[in-house]
Amino acid sequence: MAANTIVGFDPFDPEQIADPYPAYRWMRDQAPVYYDDANDLWLVTRYDDCVKVVRDPSTFSSKLGMRRLMTGLDLGRRTSQQFADTVEPLQYLTDLRMLIAMDPPDHVRLRRLVNRAFTPKHIGLSEDWIRSLCEEHFEHLLAVDADGRADWVGDFTWPFPVMVIAELLGIPTSLKRDFKRWSDDLIGLFGGKGADAELAVTSFMELLAFFDEAIARRRAEPADDLISMLIHNAEEEDEPLSSDEMVLFCVLLLVAGNETTTNLLSNGMKVLASTPGVLERLRRQPTAIPAAVEEILRYDAPVQALPRGTKQPIELHGTSIPVASTVLVFFGAANRDERQFRDPDRFDVDRGATDHIAFGNGIHLCLGAPLARLEGRIALETLCRHVTEVELTAAPVPTEGPLLRGARSMPITLRTTQGERLTNHD
């Protein structure tokens, strides 16, 4: 769809979700603060405006934004009281103390306590075992492809990040399936439309019980894992994390770290399959892989948008946004803003754009960015070592909703370095 034929944006329209970029361009040019009256949402799409919003937590509250997310962003279309009743416990639980849903000063304290465990240096210590885990999953991908059924998502990009988080948290690998199910049920809420709130609440409860027990065990008997480290760091600071804070933080890691990284790897495969020469270039010059990861993040952001709620009336581009409004910050649109990036719709490994905001900006800048970057680099390095050609054999099944962008499944064909062609017949 050409940008000049667009006269609006429906964030829940599957056709626009499939390729939102022309509509983003239209909004950036024609309506940088666009009011979606069907859903009572304010959409912000220019780079400078997105940065401005996320850097002003005293006006644009994450707590209010996340509360709205929990009740459904497409609330304007919902009349079901039952839905609102079901999400109430979820809203209550999130209101407690979840980092991503907190505003200063609460956010400042909690973020300080968890920061140390996520520095690039600390995360770098995990490189060796993450690489082994990646290799193991990649071999599985190649093995299932031998009978022609490789799904880049199902066989690689979802199990790999789940296992990394499980390993970091010291969770038994036998619980991998439960982990994925819990994560999927909660992330369903990010899909907005049609989220199964009852399922999300059930999974949330199961997760809380699970982590409650795991944390109590670590308090009694510390191990060499992230949970024990968080407990130890907080005690060292003489400011222990409460059990609620610990539990909710672990839940957040699971939810924030899985689907997002899966989407990064899925969006990366789409680029490799559709942009001639990129895989070949990365195979020839693996030192360009970190730059390729950054460009994938910019070009097709795994988190397209997140909400904020206004704590006071505010004017942006001459548009008045009332108090208690929900503003959707479109990181995915900002990363394609021609005011910030030259020729933004072109994928260019050599662009050197370190100013993309795929990990957000300001106080909520993604805590897991060093880990996501490491996983992205290791996955691409592993792919480049094993594979000389990739091809999508069918259209990927996209993720739902306007907030996350990736695929639920992606049938592929790979030509390996042994010259074998592995095919998916789906």
**Contact range with ligand HEM by CB under 6 A, out of 6-14, 123-131, 254-262, 311-319:** 254-262
Contact between 183 and ligand HEM (CB under 6 A)? no
**Contact range with ligand HEM by CB under 6 A, out of 9-17, 170-178, 278-286, 360-368:** 360-368
Closer CB to ligand HEM, 69 or 273, in the complex: 69
Contact between 262 and ligand HEM (CB under 6 A)? no
Residues 139-178 that bind ligand HEM (CB under 6 A): 165
CA distance linking residue 157 with residue 380, whole number of Å: 11
Contact between 302 and ligand HEM (CB under 6 A)? yes
**Count of residues touching ligand HEM (by CB under 6 A):** 26
Given a contact cutoff of 8 angstroms between Cβ atoms, the answer to whether 371 and 118 are in contact is yes
Contact between 374 and ligand HEM (CB under 6 A)? no
Given a contact cutoff of 8 angstroms between Cβ atoms, the answer to whether 155 and 197 are in contact is no
By rule CB under 6 A, what string of x and - marks binding of each residue 339-358 to ligand HEM?
A: -------------------x
Least gap, CB of 123 to ligand HEM (angstroms)? 9
Contact between 100 and ligand HEM (CB under 6 A)? yes
Name residue 200's amino acid. A
Contact between 401 and ligand HEM (CB under 6 A)? no
- 161 contacts: CB under 8 Å, gap ≥ 6: 257, 258, 261, 262, 265, 375
Contact between 359 and ligand HEM (CB under 6 A)? yes
Tokens of 62: 């994450």
- 343 contacts: CB under 8 Å, gap ≥ 6: none
Angle between helices 243-274 and 176-187 in degrees, nearest 10: 90
Q: Which residue is nearest to ligand HEM (CB)?
A: 368
CA distances from 167 to 98, 106, 176, 254, 373 (A): 22, 29, 10, 11, 17
Contact between 368 and ligand HEM (CB under 6 A)? yes
CA distance linking residue 228 with residue 284, whole number of Å: 41
Contact between 292 and ligand HEM (CB under 6 A)? no
H helix or E strand, kind and range, residue 262: helix 243-274
Q: Can you give the binding site for ligand HEM, defined by CB under 6 A?
A: 54, 62, 99-100, 111, 165, 252-253, 256-257, 260-261, 264, 302-303, 306, 331, 358-360, 364, 366-368, 371-372
